[in-house]
A = this chain, B = another copy of it.
Amino acid sequence: MPLVVRNTPRTDLGLVDGLARAGVATVHEAQGRTGLLRADIRPIFRPARIAGNALTCEVAPGDNWSIHVAVEQARPGDVLVVTPTSPCEDGYVGDLLAGSLLAHGVRGVVIDAGVRDVAALTEMGFPVWSRAISAKGTVKETPGNIGTPIVCGGAYVRPGDVVVADDDGVVVVPREEAATVLKAARDREDSEAAKRIKLNAGELGLDLYNMRGRLADKGLRYVDYTEAS
């Protein structure tokens, strides 16, 4: 039987916004290369960058009824995360639902299915990461779960986990780890900033990362083209 879980936990929006600033690639590295959604979940316009508390929503194939149910559970700072119970590319979200979500403070949508009205959504600046763009409408016959853990884009997402999405894709941070991951992300950014200056100045990664010895151990050989031919 379909279930709506109310008052699910949220992560502090200060942490959430910090993770947004770090961006998907950095956050993903900072939490040990975990939590990434499949690479075919892509933004409908670029550039786009948000983070928010996951408001999870399960939908039947070709049926967006649950999303209407989900709007009532939304809180400012949420990102709606939608997964179908079997693969479907239909356009579950259009400009009407986007307006409704915006009115309830939702920052964007991540959906392992399709979206429509993308010209209007682009004009509104309402970001969506989806697997497809499709004008195909949906019915309202089979409600699904709201506020329960789901798998979206191959990643496990619980309500209140932090969803970070930008031009590189989407990553999920478990809510208990948000603070730790943010700290690690900032450390990584600091470390990268120093390296960036050196690399941009022409220093080789081989030297900066001290790789030559290990490469030799792995048997890497250098030959001149004239010898190799």
Contact mask for chain A residues 140-153; partner B; CB cutoff 8 A; 1 contact, 0 none? 11110001110100
Cβ-based interface call for A24 (8 A): yes
For window 208-229 of chain A, which residues contact chain B by CB distance below 8 Å?
209, 211, 215, 218-226, 228
Interface contact B71-A169, CB-CB below 8 Å: no
Residues of B within 8 A of A118 (CB): 46, 167-168
A218's partner among B2, B46, B102 (CB-CB below 8 A) is: B2
Interface contact B1-A219, CB-CB below 8 Å: yes
Interface contact A224-B62, CB-CB below 8 Å: no
Contact mask for chain A residues 66-104; partner B; CB cutoff 8 A; 1 contact, 0 none? 001101100000000000011111110011110110111
Contact mask for chain A residues 101-114; partner B; CB cutoff 8 A; 1 contact, 0 none? 01110000000001
For window 96-136 of chain A, which residues contact chain B by CB distance below 8 Å?
96-97, 99-100, 102-104, 114, 116-119, 122, 132-136
Residues of B within 8 A of A104 (CB): 202
List 10 interface pairs A-B (beta carbons < 8 Å), by A numbering: A2-B219, A29-B137, A38-B87, A39-B133, A85-B136, A100-B199, A119-B166, A135-B168, A140-B211, A148-B228
Interface residues of chain A, those whose CB is within 8 Å of chain B, are 1-9, 23-25, 28-29, 32-34, 36, 38-39, 42, 46-47, 49, 60-63, 65, 68-69, 71-72, 85-91, 94-97, 99-100, 102-104, 114, 116-119, 122, 132-137, 139-143, 147-149, 151, 154-156, 159, 166-169, 171, 192, 195-196, 199-202, 204-206, 209, 211, 215, 218-226, 228
5 smallest A-B Cβ distances: which pairs? Answer: A61-B62, A141-B141, A68-B205, A100-B199, A135-B168
